[in-house]
Structure 1
Amino acid sequence: MRGPGALLAAIALDVSPLRESRSFRQLFEGRVVSLLGLGMLVVALPVQVYALTGSSLHVAGVNTTLGVTAFAGTLAAGVVADRVDRRRVILWSRSAAVLGFVALLVNSLVETPSLPVIYVVAAWDGLAGGFSVVALAAAVPSLVPPGRLPAVAALQAISLDVGAVVSPLLAGVAVAHGGSALVYAVVVATSVVSLGLLVRLPPLPPGGSDDPDDEPVPVRPWADLVEGVRHVARDRVVGGIVLLGFVQILFASPHVLIPELVDTQLGAGPEVVGLLYSAPAAGALVATLTSGWTGRVRRTGRLLLVVLAASGAGIVVLGTSQSVALAVVAMTLVGVGDVLGEILRFTLLYEHTPDHLRGRVSALWTAQGTAGDALGGPLLTLLARALGPGGAIALGGALAVVATGLVALLVPGLRRAVTEPPPADDVPHPDPPAPDPVPEPADATVGSTRGENA
């Protein structure tokens, strides 16, 4: 019979990719440092825009500019990241992002900061973020053995969760004592440190080529993008995952209605709104720290469908809740489901995508998430006018459950999908050769690549 120590070891967060792959460790370190800075930017930028204009419309306008250009950058990056050394794309895009952060810092130090400059930088860094996010996502699977993908997904999730919790708190203190300029200075510093860590990455040519000096295949933007779309449409596993991801974000994202739900249905105040917003992060953190068992799951497709259906059911419970306690429990469990679903999706997505297509599949995955998020909030808001906030949330969760069931029936390939077991022993994953210490100039096939905003 297993003791508590053995049980804890079996479920604890698997950090073996950090030990086994030097390249993944370097990328992870750079990403963590970057997230700590960028999480502060999420607070400082809206605060500065509102202080300059007194208008929430301009705050939304800057966010929309960032989102639209990030969407465009994502699609373009998917094509480039499958034709050009991904390390080169990461470094040049991150370098461009640093220039944007410097512009925000300089603008904040002048006597009258310029709002148009903020809009221009938002567009610049949105494009930059699209390139960097996609290139990083496409590069990661080639740095670790396939059996370690669940552990990699969990490590990336926890770095994002920690950044989301710590950075906004630090930003609030920094803005209160030094204004937005202090935060921008910190963002510039952390971005430079992150870039210094990522410079150490080895060459990351797409398609698994062993020779980083191979001539890149010419970029054919439209044809290359169509090739990626065809892979998603034809591969039952990948296509099913992308479809389910869109449905979940479209119907089962109740955050926009939480303030109204708390006010009209739960009869509580702003402190409960904050509690419901933070509950998923708490559940996600616990689930990530105890995610070691996911690496031993073989019938990953079946488990993913169960997790997504359970998450939709949790949204239904939230919508029908009449007590604060039940609503908090529901949102905590939704957070657990979100992280487990993220780990399982990541594993299946990249095990079923050839390396030479990972950039475009990453781009399409990110793009569907952006589109679903942009459409889901307005859709639920319209439903709330007829059904009330609780009814709209519950209906969205129910639609997500039904859609998950239909996919399970109509896409048996996803239901039967299995993943590779972890390596039998802790043999380090072989790393590609070390790079030159300074990034080489971008060639004509790269075009203008920019940094990351997430």
Structure 2
Amino acid sequence: MAGVQAVLKRVALDTRPLSIPAYRRLLVGQGVSFIGFQLTSVAVSGQVYNITGSSLWVGMLGPVSLVPLVVFGLWGGAVADAMDRRRLLLAGSVVAWLSTVALLLHAWSGLGNVYLILAVIALQSIGFAVTSATRGAIIPRIVPTERVPAANTLNFLVSSIGTVVGPLLAGVVLAKGGYATAYLIDAILFGAGFYAAVRLPTLAPVGEISRPGLRSVVDGLSYVVSKPVVLMSFVVDIIAMAFAMPRALFPEMAAERFGGSTVAFGWLSASIAIGAVVAGVFSGWVGRVRRQGVALTLVIALWGVTVAAAALAQPLWLVVALLAIGGATDLASAVWRQTILQTYAPDEMRGRLQGVFMVVVAGGPRLGDLRAGATADAFGLVPSWAGGGLVCALLVLVTGFGVAAFRRYDAMASRPDTR
């Protein structure tokens, strides 16, 4: 019995950051509002497919939001290094909320205009870009360095729970109340995240302050390129998302394989996050992994293989189970990549690095949406889905093990820039 308890203690979720009030409020607010965000994301995909009947149009949601994500993610990160991060988080949150209200009004109007939806998603991406970059830079300011990996795990766990609850809720809401009801719920849940941002302490910039602008952004990008470990943490994630993310194909799979069931669509949309939630509960070991470059390469290769296998599975439960395994690997990958950025770089550079991180994390899946939608229209559902997963696995193994600094990276002994 003592041995079992010791093992459980080592793998159980580290909750020590919850003792910090500011972090606890931010986590809970993020979790509640993220449920609404995911509800809207699923509703938008379903609405666009309903209007157009095309996975390519669903995939177009990716590139439409990508440009605002890149521009305002990098700019937002630069601003986060030069001004009070609390104020910037509040400003970005207001922009995100206004986009949800616009989707709600459009759904109520009955226009069914896909171009208007795409324009609103571009606005939503601006708010998302600024708030995500800023929130990531806030964490190491309110949480001690030794607890940053645990805080990141909690963040990704809460986000994953939202990514489970939101799509499952969407399956019910879309069947019973329609798109407008989904957007209304999101607009209401947003209040929790806004309250948490209001209650944050003042977070004025520290260290060397650079004026936000093109020069500041270039300095941040130059830092990324000059550090192979940091650069590779971005590269492997781009490979994982751009080649293997199948979410743009969920509406088509639900229509073709599961009779157009909104419940099946909800389960498919939640499947990856289900695995991330389970992995998060038993994530105590994640923060103790030292060879994070090797670990990232292996878990992303496993992600690609499980995604490919899901494309060939027939029962809904097996598709969901395989995607859930992929989601478990994705949680570990996300924690390690975020921790590298937050502990490897000095504070005056963290906002810009979080901007790049947000661009990659949010932009990679959107590139994946476009790739998946375009190849599905050209070659069919299964070749697009399974082929992308296999290419991801092969490419990340070659790339990850091919860069010596990344392959040899030791998280406990390789933080030369931490201050």
Q: What residue is the counterpart of 1:24 in the other structure?
A: 23
Within the candidate set 340, 347, 351, 1:355 is matched to 347
Q: 1:347 to 1:268 in 2, by over 3 A?
A: same
- Residue type matched to 2:211 in 1? P
State the alpha-carbon separation in 2 of the partners of residues 322 and 134 from structure 1.
39
Q: What residue is the counterpart of 2:153 in the other structure?
A: 154
Q: What residue is the counterpart of 2:296 in the other structure?
A: 304
Deviations 1:276-320 (A, max 9, x none): 554433322211110011122222222222222222333454466
- Residue type matched to 2:132 in 1? V
Q: Which moved more, 1:308-317 or 1:380-389?
A: 380-389
- Residue type matched to 2:404 in 1? P
Q: What residue is the counterpart of 1:372 in the other structure?
A: 364
The residue matched to 1:23 in structure 2 has which SS?
Answer: helix
Within the candidate set 195, 211, 218, 1:218 is matched to 211
Q: What residue is the counterpart of 1:336 in the other structure?
A: 328
Q: What residue is the counterpart of 1:416 in the other structure?
A: 408
Q: 1:332 to 1:125 in 2, by over 3 A?
A: closer
Q: What residue is the counterpart of 2:68 in the other structure?
A: 69
TM-align CA RMSD: 3.9
The residue matched to 1:206 in structure 2 has which SS?
Answer: coil
The residue matched to 2:409 in structure 1 has which SS?
Answer: coil
Q: What residue is the counterpart of 2:124 in the other structure?
A: 125
State the alpha-carbon separation in 2 of the partners of residues 340 and 416 from structure 1.
18
State the alpha-carbon separation in 2 of the partners of residues 388 and 48 from structure 1.
21
Contact kept, 8 Å, 1:258 with 1:273, in 2: the verdict is: no
State the alpha-carbon separation in 2 of the partners of residues 384 and 62 from structure 1.
15
Task: Give the gaps of 5 or more residues in structure 2.
Answer: 414-419
Q: What residue is the counterpart of 1:95 in the other structure?
A: 94
Contact kept, 8 Å, 2:92 with 2:128, in 1: the verdict is: yes
1:293 aligned onto 2:285: yes
Shift of 1:153: 2.1
Q: What residue is the counterpart of 1:11 in the other structure?
A: 11
- Residue type matched to 1:226 in 2? V
Contact kept, 8 Å, 2:66 with 2:366, in 1: the verdict is: no
TM-score between both structures, scaled by the size of structure 2: 0.81
1:236 aligned onto 2:231: no
Identity among equivalent pairs (%): 31
Shift of 1:13: 1.4
Q: Which moved more, 1:192-201 or 1:65-74?
A: 65-74
State the alpha-carbon separation in 1 of the partners of residues 137 and 315 from structure 2.
43
Contact kept, 8 Å, 1:17 with 1:24, in 2: the verdict is: yes
Q: 1:62 to 1:294 in 2, by over 3 A?
A: closer
1:313 aligned onto 2:312: no
Deviations 1:296-353 (A, max 9, x none): 2222222222222222333454466688776555433222211111122122222222
Q: 1:292 to 1:173 in 2, by over 3 A?
A: same
- Residue type matched to 1:192 in 2? G
TM-score between both structures, scaled by the size of structure 1: 0.75
Larger Rg: 1
Q: 1:193 to 1:376 in 2, by over 3 A?
A: closer
The residue matched to 1:400 in structure 2 has which SS?
Answer: helix
Task: Give the gaps of 5 or more residues in structure 1.
Answer: 210-215, 422-454
The residue matched to 1:365 in structure 2 has which SS?
Answer: helix
- Residue type matched to 2:14 in 1? D
Within the candidate set 330, 338, 344, 1:346 is matched to 338
Q: What residue is the counterpart of 2:416 in the other structure?
A: none
